Structures are given as C-alpha cells and as structure tokens.
Amino acid sequence: MVLIKQSILLVILAGIIPAAMAAKYTLQNRQDTVIGEISSVRAELKDTLLDIARRNGLGYQDIKLLNPELDTWLPGENVEVKLPLKFILPDTERDGIVLNIPEMRLYYYTGAGRDGVQEVVTYPLGVGREGWDTPYIKTKIIEKKQYPKWYPPESIREEHAEAGDPLPKVVEAGPDNPLGDHAMRLGLPEYLIHGTNKPFGIGMRVSHGCIRLYPEDIETLFQQVQLGTRVEIVNQPYKIGELDGVLYLEAHPYLDEDADMFENNLTPVVKLIVNATDERQYDIDWNLVREVVRQPRGIPVAIGFTRIDPTTTIADIGMDDEIVVTGDTAATAVDSVVDQAILDQQQKLDLRLDNHIHPLKFYRERVAQ
C-alpha cells in the first residue's frame, strides 16, 4: 500500500499563479509502483487549461491528454477538468532524479534507508524539441547556480539570427534569461535542469535539449538536491505497475523520432507486461491494452487483475473461523464456502477493475465496438 503525504508549496509569482501544488509519496517497499489518485476541479471563468495545469503540478501535455475535448484557452466556467495525478513509477533505480522524456515528468527519490522506506516527489517538464533531443544517459549534478547567466552556443545563436532574433554572447540573469533563476548542470556538456521565463512551455517540446521546470518547482528542487546527486534520463512512453492485485498500463505519446520503434508496434508493451507478470498470473484485457496504446491518455489504466487460484483453501482466504459444520456434510460445506469466497473475491476485483476504467469511458466504449 502506498501512503501519501501531500504538501502544498505556496509560491507567490507576481500575481500570475498564486499557488503551486506538489505531492510527496511515501514508498514502503519496492513493490509500490502506483502512486496518487485521479481527481478533478471546476474551471473558473478566467481559467485556461494551462492555469489549471500549473496550479496542480501538471504540464500542457498532461492536462490535454486527459481533457482533449476542452478548449485550451477557454475551457468554460464550472466545466469539470480531470487531473491526471496518478502515476506509475518509471522502471529505473530509485535513486536521485529520474527524467522520463516522453512522459515529460521528473521523479526525485529521497530517504532510502535500511528500512527501505523512500519518498518521491514528481514535477512536470519541458523537454528538447525534435532535432535538439535530450540524451538518454546516467549522469549526476555537477554544478548549481542561482541567477545564472546564459551563454548561448553558436548553433543556437545562428538559429536565432536566421529567425531575425539575434542573441548576445551572454544573456544576463533577469526576465529575459530563458534559464530562469535556478540552474543545475549535468555531467554532460551544455545540458542543464533549469527554470524558465516562459512557463507555458512546460509539458511541451520547446527547449534545445535542456530540461525546464516551472519556476516554483525548480526553486524547491534546487534547495533539496545536492551536488553529486544521481540523474537518469530514460525513454519510457509505456509503464507497467501493480497495486492491490490490479495491473496497470500507463501510455504517453512516443516521441516523433521514435516512430520506427513504436508506431503500429505492440511488442514493447507486450514485453513489459510479460516481464511484470513473470512470477504472478494475471487475467489481461488485451483489447483494452491495444486501445490504451492506440489512444494514450497519460494515466494508469487497469488492464487486468490477479488470477484467482482454484486451489485456494479456507485458510488462504482467512475464513476458517466462519465455518461450523459436522458429519458427512462437512466436505461439501467447506467446498461451497471456498467457492463462494473465490466468487466474492473475483466480483470485488471485477468491480475494482470496472471502477478504475470508469474515468476513461471512451476506452470501454471503443473496446465494446
């Protein structure tokens, strides 16, 4: 079971966005792979989806994937906006910072002690656009700077000059600096985790390969992260997780340059499911798997549940004190109780699966067609 501790990080941002919300999750053991809950809010008249996303620790891609029918700039007063605040943890070592590029999300793990208990906090990202890809590597934080200067590489200066927007050799700290007020350099030339002076780009592919965070998020992370902190950058558009006997699949749009790897190809997802269920048997809804991959919405979707073992005994299901039978009817009565317990358990799992799918009615409807 995942225990959730949610902290509100209040950040005053010149009256633009009054508060940002980040959630901390306590992971009791390695088996905890699904965190958070899907929720919703009602839009106010003045809200854009970008405002709502930022207030709730989400980026543009996060909120549009789950609310594709809503207008980005005018969602409408009192309209329900679903918040994809349930996540499957990336399949990586749980140490330091993990950046999942297609998900456009950062995970920061802390507090791994002898008892195995950890905390993880997660933030949305802006990542490198096609042609300025963020590399998939394991590295570390080698430098931290507040109010950094930006020294644009020659290639970026040439690009801006061609667009009629020439850059100086040095951009001083301030509102025109795209690095924002905080920057952490990776052990890789010219790559940073930094803030931004254009927060609407979080959840988009807009950078030259660096990692951008909301100003309030990078400020918090900057204070917590130490020099030498491990950083792993991964490419995982699909993630598999398990919680309380339910198997989940979370799908995000793969990057355009990875079309050869993922387009019309279910094999990567099948491999993930096979690896995740290697030691346990699950009943998988493969039609739902195909639909989740075909229409990624960026949230964990229940695709199966633990198969009930037909050899289950009364002791296994904890019902030995509930049976009072004697004589020749004992065996029949025991079998009947076990059968009913298995049926009850399966009905509960069916209901749980149904409830988890419910927020995504379009999946169920399409699978039924």
Catalytic center residues:
194, 210
Contact 266, 251 (CB under 8 A): no
Neighbours of 175 (CB within 10 A): 8
Please count the residues of the chain.
369
Please name the residues in contact with 222: beta carbons below 8 A apart, sequence gap of 6 or more.
144, 146, 182, 184
Question: In one letter, which amino acid is 297?
Answer: R
CA distance 333 to 248: 36
CA distance 249 to 68: 20
3-state secondary structure of 119: strand
Cα-atom radius of gyration of the chain, to the nearest Å?
A: 24
Q: Looking up tokens 């065996």, which residue turns up?
A: 331
Burial class (CB in 10 A: 0-12, 13-18, 19+), 207: buried
Contact 5, 24 (CB under 8 A): yes
Neighbours of 184 (CB within 10 A): 23
CA proximity to 128, closest of 101, 150, 107, 105:
101
